[in-house]
Homo-oligomer: A and B are copies of this chain.
């Protein structure tokens, strides 16, 4: 009898835990940082209808794909994209290695620290800085450099590491979707290799699920004969605008069932997602909270912005095509995990 008795105890405990977890899971709100609003309801309804095997909108597990823009959708993009801050900071390191750069534009301007002059640099000069700081090293060296920078760099407003400036409500959406069998992807205009360095730790998104602007590499050997990949100044795909559905096709090969963005660069991804059969969720985050974060548009009369433009035309397309607009001000109880 003794062993059976033991089993009995173990089993009752195991079952108790199973039932308790079940009850807690049902009672728990998967999106506690969201106010009860049509936006929250749209997410919950989408998950329920696509995971209910009795629903006509049921999506088989292998087809559950959700894509998220990063800058301005998952974390703060103001006053400037974190990656651009990285590139500016790297110019200093470059100039120490190659002092002759100190007298060459546009490096001279960046090194001057004159913010107004830097902000005025034309796209051609910005590209020179990106190429000089994002290519020419091995993929391993690049990873170490970015990791080191992320550990030290602080955002100018909150004085916190960039990786702490993710939106808590979106972190909850990522977890909620994953708990329901969705594979979550980042689809960013940022550099694929850059975002991969922190995506796993910051969002639980592994490198193979980061789709971004892609550069070529070359294959060679180091001095010990070990194979290395070197980052080359060759653009394979600009993962913005039409590049987002192109990048999704290239890297995933399936149309997402849910997509989240916040600017005109996400328009085609949201269109492409929404155009699929059955239930599809396309959501746009409107930054309308100048107090807790930033307010920019120019949709809805918000101030115009070059970083993360959200035009009135995009807002109107959302209404027309059945995308859901998330108001940061009205739909989110809190913005950051460190908020009270």
Contacts and interface: CB of A to CB of B under 8 A. Distances in A.
Nearest to A5: B8
Given A11-B11, A196-B253, A253-B196, A246 B268 contact: no
A218 to B, nearest CB: 7
Nearest to A139: B249
Given A7-B8, A208-B208, A214-B250, 6 more contacts: A10-B11, A11-B15, A207-B254, A217-B250, A218-B242, A227-B245
Contacts of A245: 219, 227, 229
A104 B144 CA distance: 54
A237 interface: yes
A300 B15 CA distance: 61
16 contacts: A4-B12, A7-B11, A8-B11, A11-B15, A183-B208, A192-B250, A207-B254, A208-B254, A214-B250, A218-B246, A226-B275, A227-B245, A227-B268, A229-B249, A236-B236, A236-B237
A208 B275 contact: no
B216 A246 contact: yes
A207 B183 CA distance: 13
* Most B CB within 10 A of own CB, among A200, A226, A250: A250
Chain A contact residues (Cβ within 8 angstroms of B): what range?
35 or more
A69 interface: no
Q: Considering residues A62, A208, A226, which has the most beta carbons from chain B within 10 angstroms of its beta carbon?
A: A208
A336 interface: no
Nearest to A241: B219
Interface in A176-201: 183, 192-193, 196, 200
Contacts of A290: none
